[in-house]
Each structure stands twice: as structure tokens, then as C-alpha cells.
Amino acid sequence: MSAAPQPQIESSVDKMNAPTAKSQTPPAHVGMFQLLNGVFVVGAVSCLARLGIPDLVEHGPKSADELASQIGADPRALYRLLRATACVGVLSEGPDGKFSETPLSSVLRSNANPSLRAFAIMHGRDWHGLGWSHLDYCVRTGKQALDKIYGMPIFQFFEQHPEEGQLFQQSMTDLSTIDGPAVADAYSFGEIHSLVDVGGGHGLLLATILAGNPHLKGTLYDMPHVVAGAKDGPLKPVMERCTLASGDMFCSVPAGADAYIMKHIMHDWPDEGCINVLKACREGVNSGGKLLVVDNVIQPGNDFAPGKFLDLQMLIFPGGCERTEKQFRDLFAAAGWRLSRVIPTAVPESIVEGVPA
């Protein structure tokens, strides 16, 4: 592996004649190195989470030797990992060589709320790394990486590899601790009395909405093996107002609801699949009902937006995409809905509301 070029040492004369820091523009290669180093940072943070280090430093600083004895690791190798993650603010190394918790490392604890431990671990799994290594294949063909690598689409892969499927579901549940409250706060559910969460995973979004709306009854709808994992999950405190149902959302959804909500579902699928789901919701919705799609809404221009990279994640794995407002409008119209408004939330996702056309 070639090393990055080393900067030259400036003389005192050079420093006096140099422009001020504010007027300096770093060379393009410096910015590019920073971007490319991102893959190293992700790998290190994922490893730190998988080893459970953030849990072990919650109550006080520990040395690499202490931590290595607790997890059964090589002390010198572990120190190198701790030092690297500390330089990006995930842990902090003190003068005594011990490592302490930081705000960034705290969200990698298993007992944190919110916790991104499962999400970080998922980004270090073999299937995830292999998928991104095949991005060029996806771009050239428009096809998905895991079909080529494992001979099956991603959700079938999760069914056949339950440990990976559980990690994915835990990651999605953990994300819902962040975006679920934002959705519940941004939308008024006062006139809705029955709500179906289509593809709702283990039910944290629905549980959050039901907790804040005592008049509301909900139905969690997902694949049978997913719903089976929801019975003792986030919905347990509100189960008297909730029904669990399973089936194929591309064919039908539980009928007779005032509203259907989907978070991070439409972005998983190409237009044809989405239209089938939206048509099923249109057939099932009560008169005057609503459709609520929670996803990124891509804005024009060159501003940074996480959704533009999440869009590539969708290309690589399930085959869907993040959409613009116009694309949502056209998608809704093809399934018998009219886009009525786009409601921003405190997180990058928006609520795209539809009404029967």
C-alpha cells in the first residue's frame, strides 16, 4: 500500500509570507484523502462497537491492557484501535494512557438511548462491505449486488441468515428511536382513529405514535418472521390497542384503516413495486383517509444531504431509490393517490402525505 505524501516543513519566512489561514484553500488531494479515509473510520468504529468497548468504559476510564483482558484481545492491537477511534472523537485517551467515554462513543453503548451500536456493527459486516465493493456493477447494470454475490436479494438473504436479519431489524428499531419521535411530533393524528404501519418491523414507530395518541388503534403489518419478533417488543405497553398482522404488502394490506404509514419502505423498492403497495393501501383506506410515507425527499442542488448517499445504498441492496417531490407526486398518482403536502421533521426524513385522488 502506498503512503500518503508527507507535507513539506515550512520555513519561518514562508510562514510570514503565507496568506492567512482563512484565505487558504487546501489542495484538492488533501480533501480527497479526507473523504477516502472515511472507509477506515467506519471500519474502526464498527469494530469498536462489535467488541463492546463503549459499554466497558461507561463507568470510568480503562487502559488497553484492562480492556484486552476483559474481551480476550491482544493488548497492543487493541491499543491501536482505541488510539485511532479516539483521534476522531470516539473515546478519549488521557495522559495516563487510559481511554474514557465521549458523547460519540456513548451512543455505541448497548444500553444507550438512542443506540447506534447495531447500526455501526451492520456497517462492518461482510455482506455490507461486499455490496459497496460492487457499486460499479450496480451502476453499470442497475442490478443489485447481493443477487450477484449470493444469488439472492437482500431480504431473502436476511431470511436465510437469521443473525444478519436480526442485526438489520435491531438497526432499524434503533433508528426509529431517533426518527419515530420526530414523525410523531411533526404530524397531527387527532382525526385519525385507526392506523396501519406497513412494513413496520418490530413496531417502534407505531408504539411511539400510539403512546402519544390514546384515542388511536394501530395494526403492525410485516412479513411473518418479522412480526414474530415484535410480540415482546416496543408495542407491548400498548398491545391492548394494537393488532399484529402478516402478509405480502405487494398484494394486500389490512383493510378499513383511516391511514396507512410507511417509514423507509418506499425507498427500498423500484416504482413498480411501490405502486403495487400504494394501490393496496388505496383499496383498503377508509373514505377521506390518508397515506403517510416517511422518507428522504431529495432537493435539487449540490448541497450535502445524507439521502443522496442513502440513495446509493438503495441501489446496491434492495433496488429502490430516494425520490424527489415530483417523483413522489408521480408515484402517488399512478396508484390512485394525490400528494397533498410534504411535512418536514426534525430529522432528514419528511412525511409525504397523500389523499385519495
Q: CA nearest 182: which of 306, 346, 296?
A: 346
Q: Which residues have CB under 8 Å from 103's CB, separation 6+?
A: 89
From the number of C-beta atoms within 10 Å of its C-beta (0-12, 13-18, 19+), residue 103 rates as: exposed
Q: CA nearest 325: which of 346, 340, 304?
A: 340
Gap between the Cα atoms of 305 and 298, Å rounded: 8
Cite the beta strand spans of the chain per DSSP E: 92-93, 99-100, 194-198, 217-222, 242-246, 257-263, 285-295, 337-344, 350-356
Gap between the Cα atoms of 333 and 356, Å rounded: 9
Gap between the Cα atoms of 163 and 151, Å rounded: 19
The number of beta carbons lying within 10 Å of the beta carbon of residue 153 is 14
Q: At what angle do helices 38-51 and 75-86 cross, to 10 degrees?
A: 120
Gap between the Cα atoms of 225 and 162, Å rounded: 10
Whether residue 29 lies in the annotated active site: no
What is the per-residue DSSP string for 16-40? HHSPPGGG----HHHHHHHHHTHHH
What is the per-residue DSSP string for 106-117? HTTSTT-SS--H
In the numeric block, which cell numbers belong to residue 99?
Answer: 481511554
Residues 79 and 71 sit within 8 Å (Cβ to Cβ): no
The catalytic residue among 128, 202, 264, 267 is 267
**Active centre residues (catalytic):** 267
